[in-house]
Structure 1
């Protein structure tokens, strides 16, 4: 891929320095340095602390918070590690308490300390000096013609028992420029070596130059059209450095003096903010999704809104080709290192898979960081590694979410509420105390009592205990903490003495109204109001027909029945009973004369009997 003219922008203020490299108006590299600046490149006199034969490594103290890690490969010189040479063990190379000179390769990241090496390298403008090695090489980005020419010069200039590497910036340099750069590096090394002999471990004896000068030294070359710097001191320091090393490039450095912030004017801030998002859109309408885990970085390619015009295979090929270049740009911009897996869209045609792989390798040629790529598989997967030197852009500009722990997901409201209820219920049931006081975070308190239903009241009814809640405004998690338990007066007294505000219960009217509405709807469903049936007009019947002067009103003029009151069934008139004919009165029958005489004789006998008994009673009473 042929990139356009490149630009470098350097922005510096009181808190941080930001440097970006722009290609075709797109930010492809971004570097940020703050107060706790990187220690990569620093040289220390270190003391060996522990030897780990099982890991073939050692821990060394360089004066930082954590001990640095030194692999056995970083102790041996390159010529000692060639095939056929017996490999020495770490316990035979180093001893605890030994003092050695080391240089930092990787910053401390996560819970790991810095990674160091004993193979010191001093980078200059055109050359890299290796005082403890006899190796000679050149940048892989140089053409074959330039590499041969520059290696010839280096062979004539190289000091004995020292190594040199020709950098990409030396592409158009002559022998005299290489000689001046080498002289500067040799003077610097003698100063470092002398300081190291006079220092006791752990001591920092050399500090790498600041970010702005480091980017100019490593990146500024003839293919960079312009350098913009918005800080006067940085501008003066960089131009002074270039006058000594590359005077022909001084004219390309410009101080930015506009009132509008430089990164806002050239839309740099927008691209830096977008670099923190997981999804990146392609020009065709497809997109890539970048996800980072502890083990690796996974990149997924999707067609998105792009539907193509010809065939499915052409649509997939175009999306994958665009994604190949964009993936490399994002790797450089975000400074992603370690193991990287790219999941391209499945391609059935082998030629298409090869074209996508070639595009990926072509884009990686612009990446200054060392990479290794494995050919694309039939499933469209590409495995690659990229050297991890310092923190990625995401690690520098963001931190792990305290709520989700970096997963991107949090507990649902229902899960939080149910878990809190379960904990409170279990504590109450497992104790004989009468009252309990719990401390919760604001969100849990809202879910338990301010969501329209008082769930705490429900737990009280279930357990028979009194429960009080107090809110910890500083709490961020969803833990329910038992503050105290005991009798109700004790809990109330603790609330007053501690000036704790109790969470009020949920409002009852809202609950009553919420429960009443469904009941009304049920009544309407069971007994719907029906309009009365109309009767045909006719003569009045029944009681109205019998009563003279009573007139029934028309149905339309009658009083309307209240809504919701069921209609009575219309009264059905019973048939009139037939009238009975008046019966003639019968005269009472007279008794026969014989019966009258018999009754008279019976009465006379009863009188005679009664008169005989009366004197006997009187005599008895006198005696």
Structure 2
């Protein structure tokens, strides 16, 4: 497997792409003006405790208060597995040290936890918990036992905190762990010193920039090189960071110097455009339809122009197999999270359904984000959840359409005409002394009043015994109108 990490840095944003055998498999975008909050540590102030929800709203200095559930308070869990009531743990007005586990999304505030975790290259440090663990992605039991024993042996006796061994630590040595321990211990000491002098709400620690996190988290043994398209000072900073914290990455860093922009050279710009599209075409001739909203995302699989060479069942099976692989990739590129429903084309054979499910599970197994998946439901759907920690690609790069308000469609001119007629009648009944109405609307609506709906407008004027004047406003959207009277 040939894996490359492409990093494009500018003064406004950083974009990171993971290429596997020349194909874009993962994409991350961070804008300086809208940096993510996940990993940031705050000294928050408890604004409200809700016993009924076993939750609390915490002011950490953002526009919206953040949300803390009792299950995310590490001191709440008791020996029998139950949780202490939150009203016994938090009180309004007190300060609490918290870390952001999920960015604010839509109308929801940030999700918080009191379990502070600081990520290094090989280890994650838990300064408040003595737990020692190994990433579940390391499946070799012998290696898991070796890593757990190694981290236990090198951990200083005075250390009260715990560690989680990261996936990239497979094959690590004691020197690797000691380097991370020293860095993470120094980082926590700096945070602890700020706690005593920072007033709530206030920030204690801000996570690394995306380009630095990419070097720390995304480079592995399969990564052949890290190609950086950035200003000279940015590449120098990255080299310094790599030498200090992830020295194994230093030799893989390369400066991109070609005239064609890096993301254009590798075809990533066109892939981003495709990832913003509702429709994704399959090589076989089939296609996928992605619909994303706040409650869930749905994916519909269609055969399209693909008819196959034998029977329809074989056509459906091959289309679904290809769709499973493409869906897993699109979930990463679009960063879709929360509840996801996949409507594969109906398959009659149980063996086909089992094969498609196995293909989907295999395709999502490399995803860095945690995924849980159900079997096929009675309706032939697959339900899955993908942990949502940051905004999707569509929410980062796009905004709701000002014409349709995010619905994806607008009212017809005839629908708007009938709304206007009803509104005029309502105004006439409410204010019986009106002598003249004026309808101000877009060109398409006024044209309809002058042509197909001219009779309806005349009938209204005769009924209210009042003239109605029409006026075009070129800057109005198709759904926008005003009604004035005197």
TM-score (norm 2): 0.92
1:141–1:365 Cα contact (<8 Å) kept = no
Alpha-carbon distance between aligned partners in 1 of 2:15 and 2:481, rounded to the nearest angstrom:
44
1:528-547 alignment, distance < 5 Å: none
Q: Equivalent residue for 1:583?
A: none
Cα gap change, 1:387 to 1:433, in 2 (>3 Å):
closer
Q: Equivalent residue for 1:330?
A: 330
Q: Equivalent residue for 1:260?
A: 260
Q: CA deviation at 1:68?
A: 0.7
1:51–1:90 Cα contact (<8 Å) kept = yes
Query: Residues 131-190 of structure 1: CA distance to partner in whole angstroms, max 9, x if unpaired?
Result: 111111112222414323222211112354311011122123211011111110001001
Aligned length: 480
Alpha-carbon distance between aligned partners in 1 of 2:98 and 2:434, rounded to the nearest angstrom:
64
Q: Equivalent residue for 1:110?
A: 106
Q: Equivalent residue for 1:310?
A: 310
Q: Does 1:374 align with 2:374?
A: yes
Q: Equivalent residue for 1:476?
A: 477
Please give the secondary structure, in 1, of the residue aligned with 2:283: coil
1:130 to 123, 126, 131: 126
1:437–1:484 Cα contact (<8 Å) kept = yes
Q: Does 1:158 align with 2:159?
A: no
Please give the secondary structure, in 1, of the residue aligned with 2:391: coil
1:428–1:436 Cα contact (<8 Å) kept = no
Unaligned runs of 5+ in 2: none
1:254-293 alignment, distance < 5 Å: 254-293=254-293
Q: Equivalent residue for 1:587?
A: none
Q: Equivalent residue for 1:17?
A: 14
Q: Does 1:63 align with 2:64?
A: no
Q: Equivalent residue for 1:174?
A: 173
Alpha-carbon distance between aligned partners in 2 of 1:422 and 1:275, rounded to the nearest angstrom:
42
1:428–1:465 Cα contact (<8 Å) kept = no
Please give the secondary structure, in 2, of the residue aligned with 1:375: strand
Query: Residues 340-384 of structure 1: CA distance to partner in whole angstroms, max 9, x if unpaired?
Result: 111122222222222111111111220111111112235432111
Q: Does 1:31 align with 2:28?
A: yes
Q: Does 1:343 align with 2:336?
A: no
Query: Residues 448-486 of structure 1: CA distance to partner in whole angstroms, max 9, x if unpaired?
Result: 34889697666545544233344445443635433331x
1:400-411 alignment, distance < 5 Å: 400-411=400-411
Q: CA deviation at 1:54?
A: 0.5
1:550-561 alignment, distance < 5 Å: none
Q: CA deviation at 1:407?
A: 2.2
1:382-393 alignment, distance < 5 Å: 382-393=382-393
1:8–1:228 Cα contact (<8 Å) kept = yes
2:2–2:224 Cα contact (<8 Å) kept = yes
Alpha-carbon distance between aligned partners in 2 of 1:323 and 1:436, rounded to the nearest angstrom:
56
Alpha-carbon distance between aligned partners in 2 of 1:425 and 1:383, rounded to the nearest angstrom:
49
Cα gap change, 1:260 to 1:54, in 2 (>3 Å):
same
Q: CA deviation at 1:45?
A: 0.6
Please give the secondary structure, in 2, of the residue aligned with 1:148: helix
Alpha-carbon distance between aligned partners in 1 of 2:293 and 2:195, rounded to the nearest angstrom:
40
Please give the secondary structure, in 2, of the residue aligned with 1:69: strand
1:71-110 alignment, distance < 5 Å: 71-77=69-75, 80=77, 84-110=80-106
Please give the secondary structure, in 2, of the residue aligned with 1:242: helix
Please give the secondary structure, in 1, of the residue aligned with 2:15: strand
Alpha-carbon distance between aligned partners in 1 of 2:344 and 2:467, rounded to the nearest angstrom:
60
Alpha-carbon distance between aligned partners in 2 of 1:19 and 1:236, rounded to the nearest angstrom:
17
1:420–1:444 Cα contact (<8 Å) kept = no
1:6–1:23 Cα contact (<8 Å) kept = yes
Q: Which stretch has the larger CA shift, 116-125 or 334-343?
A: 334-343
Alpha-carbon distance between aligned partners in 2 of 1:219 and 1:469, rounded to the nearest angstrom:
61
1:347–1:379 Cα contact (<8 Å) kept = no
Q: Equivalent residue for 1:239?
A: 239
